[in-house]
Amino acid sequence: MATPNPEKAFPVSWDQFHRDARALAWRISSAGPFRAIVCITRGGLVPAAIVTRELGIRMIETVCIASYHDYQSQGQLKVIKEVAPHLLTDGGEGILVVDDLVDTGKTAKVVREMLPKAHFATVYAKPQGRPMVDTYVTEVSQDTWIYFPWDMGYTFQPPIRDAG
């Protein structure tokens, strides 16, 4: 993935993201029941909170995979925390995996190998990664850069730890 293209920017407000995450919950509601949700951190945390509320899922787990190291380009994938072993039984059947975006599909592929029978859902999807997910709400072009509300102020806001 290249650096963000300002001409293909897709800024998403909190209101828009909340509506889109609720739409995702509605789309996957008939695919359950789900015994647990696994959110891919960090981007999957916010949509997972909304989806778990809407679907009444109480068992929430994370899988921590670092892929965007500089907020601009996708780097080497690193699994920081794996899924709890008791959720890996039956290949992940009855598990809902949630993320904010599937881009190249590399992260989803790693998690799909851990949970091959899980239902994968993302709020947004790009064409290259779309085959890796079962359900998504909005497709954007591969060269579009999505600016999520947690990354934005009036201008891009670097994480506090990176501020000088």
Active site members: 99-100, 103
Q: Answer yes or no: are the C-beta atoms of 114 and 107 closer than 8 Å.
A: no
55 is in an annotated binding site: no
26 is in an annotated binding site: no
Q: How far apart are CA 33 and CA 95, in angstroms?
A: 9
Q: Chain-centre distance of CA 36, in angstroms?
A: 16
145 is in an annotated binding site: yes
89 is in an annotated binding site: no
42 is in an annotated binding site: yes
Structure tokens at 19: 């509506």
Query: Is 91 strand, coil or helix?
Result: helix
Binding-site residues for guanine sit at 103, 146
Binding residue ranges for GMP: 103-107, 145-146
Binding-site annotation, residues: 42-43, 99-107, 145-146
